[in-house]
A and B are shown apart, each in its own frame.
Chain A
Amino acid sequence: MVAEQGTRRRLHFDFVGAVLWLVRILAILAVVVGAFVSLSSGRLSAAAWLNFVVIGIGQGAIYALIALGYTMVYGVLGFINFAHGEVFMSGAMVGAFAANSLAQAGMWNSNPVLSILIVLLIAMATSTLVALLLERVAYRRLRNAPRLIPLITSIGASFFIQYAFLGLFGSQTRTYPALSILDGFIRVAGINIRYADIMVIGSALVMMVGLYTFVERTKAGRALRAVAEDKEMAALMGVNVNRTIVLTFAVGGAMAGAAALLFGVVFRTVFFFSGFLFGIKAFTAAVLGGIGNIVGAMLGGLTLGIFESVGPSLVLTGLGIPSAHQLKDVVAFLALVLVLIFKPTGLLGERLSEERA
């Protein structure tokens, strides 16, 4: 994007460019100094740092699953579905009710695998339903509107869903019952890895491989890629564009539902506002990996998870900032800003049809 600034500007002092360079240098300096001070102080052992990384990967896997929804919609329709965090939240919320009723029936701990599968299905179905409703009610008419209009719509939708859930289910936090088989950890090379993290990373991996195969190997996936590339041309080639767009939302919703269950099992509490921050962070992950790029979303999610879990402790504490854990969300937002300043196309590059990039 910077390339087209033209030669006229070159002759003058490039104020924006200078500021951006300053930001870049400062960011690198902050990270290097913070990390150096932290590591050399020996405050935490190497195993403790690795532990942070593992926790970060677990969290990042959830971000990655949500990020898939952002990235797929962006790839196909070219706008940010701001309400996708709420799609995730709806799955987590309804999943909590299902999990609790299973726990009441005594199935949750006596038959954990089956009950997790049941709740997974319910969460995925809920999220898919919400995503499809969103598409039908809010976005379908705006297919060819300028990009900011669906964005504003999706902000409205985000608030609408949040407060609809508040009104329907109340403001109290809903808790997932504890799953006893996930307590405990295994020790690998001196670091403790919780079973919960193993489950999250494992299942996220399965979902992503599944999605990747779906998009790259199946006919519907090929249609999806074709629509992302050029809607009109795809239509001329006999692809049902409408159905493909619906499919995009459905798949994105299903992934968010799966993320919702993992989130519920690991973090165990959910309320109507849970989707907001998670949504923004997942979006950050999508941008980080290169929006529109499915592999990028996975990579971006994991990277952001690690940033967020290691960053405050490594960089901020190293710089002498008190209570660095309070600034976890600041790190995530700053990561977004820095990614967009350093490499707006993300780690793996955007996959958009040329006219949109």
Chain B
Amino acid sequence: MAQTTKTPTAARPADPAPMRRNFFDLVKAARWGLVGGATATFVSVIGMVSDFDGRTLIDPFLTLGYLVLFLVPFAFGYMAARPPLTLEGQDPARVGPRDVLAGAIAGLVTGLVLIVPTLLAVNFNLRSVFVNLSPAMADTLTLGQSLGAGLLLLAVVCLVAGAMGAGVNVVPARWRGPVMTGLLWVLTVGLLEDLATQLLRGLNLDALIGVFFAPGGGLKPLGAIIVFVLVFSLQLAFQRRPPRLKARYQALDQSERRRWTIILIAAAAVIVYLIPIVLGGFMSEILDLVGIYLLMALGLNIVIGFAGLLDLGYVAFFAVGAYMTAVLTSSGSPALSPELTFWAALPFVVLAAALSGVLVGTPVLRMRGDYLAIVTLGFGEIARILFLSDWFEPVFGGAQGITQIPSPSIGPIVINTPPQFFYPIIALVFIAAYISWALANSRIGRAWNAIREDEPIAEALGVNIVTAKLSAFVVGAALASFAGALFASKIGAVFPNSFSIVVSIIVLVIIIVGGMGNLAGVAVGALVIVGLPQLLREFDEYRFLLYGGLLIFMMLAKPEGIIPSRRRVAELHQEEMGQDAWLTAEPEPELDEARTTPATAKD
């Protein structure tokens, strides 16, 4: 997918004639269709389609299940009709109706392949092996019709979806953006119905709910059209005349700018204050969880995004924070229980985490990047097993964990409801974000950058590798321990099984999807990765499947994340160019981020 946008640096022996699409492309389309069919079968047999069928997006016709199902022929139709890579010295390939035909063929083949699992589910009982290959799945796939008519309809809908996917290539670029954005917003609003209705209710706009949403769930067609038209026209308008707010802000003179900054901060503070009040208990609970993960992600962002140390055992620091808080504050702590208040315990918690950061960081300091990853993963598991073990049971309570952790309080106010917890969490998130931002632009931040980009050169230029790496580990550990402390006092108990490897992986997915090294990206990543599955309960069973898929997809398509940092793009872009090393006479300089030995010259 990355190939669409890049033009190889080296001029290939160019083919003078423009690329012609011919019969062969249709065979290629059918091949895409087969891959699509396999994907759609996988999505159905794993149970996603029937599980997601319960959530209506647009009232009578579209449920999330069908969206997922028909997204497959749509995507593969798009792939089948994608114009070939335009090389230097070639004219770009023309797009036209033939591409739509290719997409339709891919879609049709996808639909035809889907007949296989349907027939299997109807005629045989394979549920002892494939647990979700059930008649319910067949019902969903035949769109509620009888078998024959349903399969025909399925094939036709897949064909249309494939053609539409191909159509994306054909629509002129000027319209493509607004149309896609509009559709995306319609689907997002339909998907986030709970959030949207809660928001409207919180803002006392109850009347609007009936206009947009159907009583049984999902957008009304009218609501969908309103959302689409609104987004479409806004996008079109901004596309014609971008507002350039940042440039305008920067053009202001000093005092004006200061005034606006104060106004913006005040507005942000008011909004932050209002968020948990407007959203209510359930949504605040989700936001609290997002905040805790965001805190961890900001910490891991320093370790991975800034310093380039792939730490897969990050959960260990989170666990240390949580357990230290539990031991210091809980009255039920088995061995020593000083029963400090939350705030009095916090400095000790951070100290302990920082120490564990040094403890983990020092032995791995001279390891290669990939070894470091596995070893830190090992440390993460060691931490969990030790907290669980009989050996440390007298201190940490073994599998029973530590309960009766008191809620923190500010003055007379005890913080124990989810909306109240939002404030300390968001405060710590802002502090963490400020720390990250300040560090990124400091001497140590530049040292991290240098190490990440080329460690031997950084060392040769006088960067103290030991201090820089250890401080990355320590700062990351400290931020994770904040998250751990909040987590422990929010839940009121800690158990070793809350700190399994998947926490590390979730945090990794957050920063990779969001955009490594970029604070806004990390925040968006946390909202999407942690918040969305909480909001859409049916995702829960598939979230790790989707996380895994997302990691693969991001690495293949957009390793810099959805909101990338500019430096990161430059680095990765250069690396991608290196992929054409076969063509270039000179070996590209390799930007291996975590190598400890100087590169031996290739020649």
Q: Which residues of A contact B (CB under 8 A)?
A: 1-2, 4, 6, 15-16, 19-20, 23, 79-80, 97, 137-138, 141-153, 155-164, 166-170, 232, 235, 276, 280, 283, 287, 321-323, 326-327, 329-330, 333-334, 336-337, 340-341, 344, 354-355, 357
Contact = CB atoms under 8 A, between A and B. Distances in A.
B178 interface: no
B413 interface: no
B592 interface: yes
Given A160-B552, A167-B47, A167-B541, A147 B598 contact: no
A170 B545 contact: no
A144 B581 contact: yes
Contact of A152 (B132, B371, B508): B508
22 contacts: A16-B466, A20-B362, A137-B552, A143-B579, A144-B578, A144-B579, A145-B555, A145-B576, A146-B593, A149-B559, A152-B310, A156-B547, A157-B551, A164-B42, A167-B541, A167-B542, A168-B131, A232-B582, A322-B391, A329-B385, A336-B374, A337-B379
A271 to B, nearest CB: 13
Nearest to A74: B370
A153 B466 contact: no
Interface string B290-318: 00000000000000000010101000000
Nearest to B588: A144
Contacts of A150: 555
A153 B556 contact: yes
Contacts of A323: 389-391
A144 B371 CA distance: 19
Ranked 5 nearest A-B pairs via Cβ: A156-B551, A160-B548, A159-B548, A333-B378, A167-B46
Given A151-B373, A169-B129, A333-B381, 11 more contacts: A4-B598, A16-B362, A19-B362, A147-B592, A153-B556, A156-B555, A321-B391, A326-B391, A327-B385, A327-B389, A336-B375
B130 A148 contact: no
A357 B373 CA distance: 17
A330 B602 CA distance: 40
Interface residues of B, number: 74
Nearest to B47: A167
Nearest to B547: A159
Contacts of B579: 143-145
A138 B374 CA distance: 20
B551 A159 contact: yes
Contacts of A162: 544, 548
B372 to A, nearest CB: 9
B268 to A, nearest CB: 33
B382 A330 contact: yes
A137 B39 CA distance: 12
A107 to B, nearest CB: 18
B573 interface: no
- Is chain B's interface secondary structure helix, strand, loop, or mixed overall? helix
Nearest to A174: B129
Contacts of B551: 152-153, 155-157, 159-160
Contacts of B21: none
Contact of B555 (A19, A149, A329): A149
A177 to B, nearest CB: 14
Contacts, number: 185
B578 A20 contact: no
Nearest to A101: B129
B596 A1 contact: yes
B104 interface: no
A274 B538 CA distance: 25
A157 B552 CA distance: 6
Contacts of B503: none
B590 interface: yes
Given A152-B512, A156-B547, A333-B378, A146 B591 contact: yes
A159 B378 contact: no
Contacts of A336: 374-375, 378
B544 to A, nearest CB: 4
B572 to A, nearest CB: 8
B247 interface: no
B328 interface: no
A232 B602 CA distance: 12
Contacts of B47: 167
B466 to A, nearest CB: 6
Interface in B462-518: 466, 501, 505, 508-509, 512
B381 A329 contact: yes
B575 A156 contact: no
Contact of A287 (B371, B594, B598, B599): B371
Given A1-B596, A142-B555, A146-B592, A280 B374 contact: yes
A4 B455 CA distance: 12
B378 A337 contact: yes
A346 B551 CA distance: 30
B593 A148 contact: yes
